[in-house]
Amino acid sequence: MEKYNNVMIKNVVKLCQIQAHHAILEVGFGPGLGLQEALKYLTDPRGRLFGLDVSEYMHEVARERLGPQLASGKVHLLQGRVECIPLPDHCIDGVFHSNCHLYWPDMATATAELLRVMRPGARMLATCDLGFLRRGVEQGFFKGVTVDPRPYMQALRAVGFLGVSMEDLMDEAKSFQVIYATSPPPSTTETQNS
């Protein structure tokens, strides 16, 4: 499964346009593959990487994978749900995740919380493989999960994300989808007061 998801993870991290000094958040980091990939871009000492996952087991796996980076303070693992991200307002330059939005019970709160922690103009990207997910639903997996991306995209728009769109991509003969969204730029008043 790691190899299967790794294509999507590498692409979503690349599409995030991470700069060396950015603060980046991965939601639902699982075994830490996305965190490991994002670290390649965060070469400036100011660059920070945050991972949020509810699973203690995934925290253990990621801690093993990222031990030196955790010890140096470059990576911070946060345990919790996306509906209550333990980070201050407007501190994140980019957010990415893969498939985890399917499991968010309160989409409105989750998307509002993502927007809260993102800096103005920051990018949020999500990957999923709709073909794989639809086959899984047909075979009885993913019970109680909607694989339709439209409710997620509508929730992003409803809380104020801009440029919400979805694109079909292919890499290494694997097709998948990427959902894009951007936090609003600073308001004119905020810009004038800065």
Q: What is the pLDDT of residues 59-91, one digit of tens each?
A: 999 999 999 999 999 999 999 999 999 999 999
Asked if residue 20 belongs to a domain, the reply is yes
Q: Are 38 and 49 in contact (CB under 8 A)?
A: yes
Percent of residues, the chain, with pLDDT higher than 90:
74
pLDDT at 188: 45
Asked if residue 189 belongs to a domain, the reply is no
Asked if residue 192 belongs to a domain, the reply is no
Asked if residue 25 belongs to a domain, the reply is yes
The CATH number that applies at residue 16 is: 3.40.50.150
The total number of structural domains that make up the chain:
1
Cβ-count burial of 192 within 10 angstroms (0-12 exposed, 13-18 middle, 19+ buried)?
exposed
**Domain limits at 24?**
2-182
Asked if residue 158 belongs to a domain, the reply is yes
* Dist. CA 9–CA 126, nearest whole Å: 9
Asked if residue 190 belongs to a domain, the reply is no
Asked if residue 187 belongs to a domain, the reply is no
Whole-number Cα distances in Å, 100 to 76, 107, 120, 126 = 19, 11, 23, 9
Task: Please name every residue paired with 175 in a beta bridge, in sequence order, or none if there are none.
Answer: 170
Q: Which residues of the chain have pLDDT under 70?
A: 1-4, 188-194
Q: Taking Cα atoms as reference points, which of 106, 103, 142 lies closest to residue 126?
A: 103
pLDDT at 145: 73
pLDDT at 69: 95
Asked if residue 104 belongs to a domain, the reply is yes
Contacts of 6 (CB under 8 A, 6+ apart): 33
